[in-house]
């Protein structure tokens, strides 16, 4: 099972949108796929109409007192299952801190699911915390959505430095531009410049700022399912086709 986390220190950059759409595309391609909604806001769980609640809460899960296989829920997309969010995940840092070897804990928690899935996508909460460090340790790759701005690019560089310097198991980092507004000159310039400057880290495909993506909250389904021929869905398909070989799935 390959583990890929959608991560950015900032919120509202398209992590959850990327996670749910890429997870749906992976399942449509025949990969046995698990999406773990680690964000206490539970947006991914909401989009799949699954109650953002797990028996025993996050602390019990982190202490491995819950059978993680009992917590998985099927989604409306065949081949895609969800490990739901729980509001108690807001205290996951504390739970990890109380457990032994906190940065390695999430890898252990998810390990019993490895035999059932080809791909696990972790939808992470925005922050840099013990949870993020544990995610970095668990993940084979970080998929990083970037909004095209100078500050975002700087933050991306900081993430690269942090992973290179502080994380033992260094996950591969693959970034893509998200919420791109082609009418803005800055967006156009940054989107053109960064992939050319860092072709190993930043892929060519970018996800447009699109109404259909915003409507996912109304449709409560990934855009690749609810509007598969839309511009945004086609962009996610291109993104998946481009990152899949890089992620090794």
Q: How many CB atoms lie within 10 A of CB 92?
A: 25
Return phi, psi of residue 86, to 5°.
-150, 140
Residue 195 sits in the site that holds another protein (CB under 8 A) = no
- Considering only 13, 19, 24, 27, the residue that binds another protein (CB under 8 A) is 27
- Considering only 11, 67, 101, 248, the residue that binds another protein (CB under 8 A) is 67
Q: Which stretch binds another protein (CB under 8 A): 10-18, 76-84, 103-111, 157-165?
A: 76-84
Residue 148 sits in the site that holds another protein (CB under 8 A) = no
Residue among 125, 117, 105 nearest 42 (CA): 125
Contact flags string 100-129 toward another protein, x per CB under 8 A: -------------x--x-x-----------
Residue 181 sits in the site that holds another protein (CB under 8 A) = no
Which residues, numbered 214-243, are part of the site for another protein (CB under 8 A)?
A: 220
Q: Which two tokens stand for residue 33?
A: 């796929």
Q: How many CB atoms lie within 10 A of CB 27?
A: 23
Q: In what order do the strands lie in the sheet with 2-6?
A: 73-74, 80-83, 33-37, 119-123, 2-6, 141-146, 172-180, 202-208
Q: What is the contact surface with another protein in residues (CB under 8 A)?
A: 27, 29-33, 48-50, 67, 69-70, 72-76, 78-79, 81, 113, 116, 118, 220
């Amino acid at each position: 099972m390959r583990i890929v986390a959608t991560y950015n220190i900032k919120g509202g950059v398209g992590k959850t949108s990327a996670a749910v759409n890429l997870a749906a595309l992976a399942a449509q391609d025949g990969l046995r796929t698990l999406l773990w909604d680690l964000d206490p806001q539970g947006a991914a769980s909401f989009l799949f109409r699954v109650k953002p609640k797990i028996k025993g809460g996050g602390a019990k899960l982190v202490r491995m007192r819950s059978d993680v296989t009992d917590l998985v829920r099927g989604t409306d997309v065949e081949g895609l299952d969800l490990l739901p969010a729980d509001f108690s995940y807001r205290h996951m840092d504390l739970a990890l801190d109380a457990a032994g070897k906190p940065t390695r804990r999430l890898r252990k928690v998810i390990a019993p699911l490895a035999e059932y899935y080809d791909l696990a996508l972790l939808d992470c909460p925005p922050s840099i915390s013990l949870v993020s460090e544990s995610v970095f340790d668990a993940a084979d790759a970080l998929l990083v959505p970037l909004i095209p701005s100078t500050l975002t690019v700087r933050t991306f560089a900081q993430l690269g430095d942090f992973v290179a310097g502080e994380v033992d198991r260094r996950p591969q980092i693959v970034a893509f531009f998200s919420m791109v507004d082609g009418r803005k000159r800055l967006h156009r310039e940054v989107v053109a410049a960064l992939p050319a400057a860092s072709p190993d880290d930043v892929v060519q495909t970018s996800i447009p700022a699109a109404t259909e993506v915003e409507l996912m909250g109304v449709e409560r389904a990934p855009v690749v399912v609810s509007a598969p021929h839309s511009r945004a869905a086609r962009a996610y398909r291109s993104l998946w086709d481009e990152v899949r070989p890089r992620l090794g799935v």
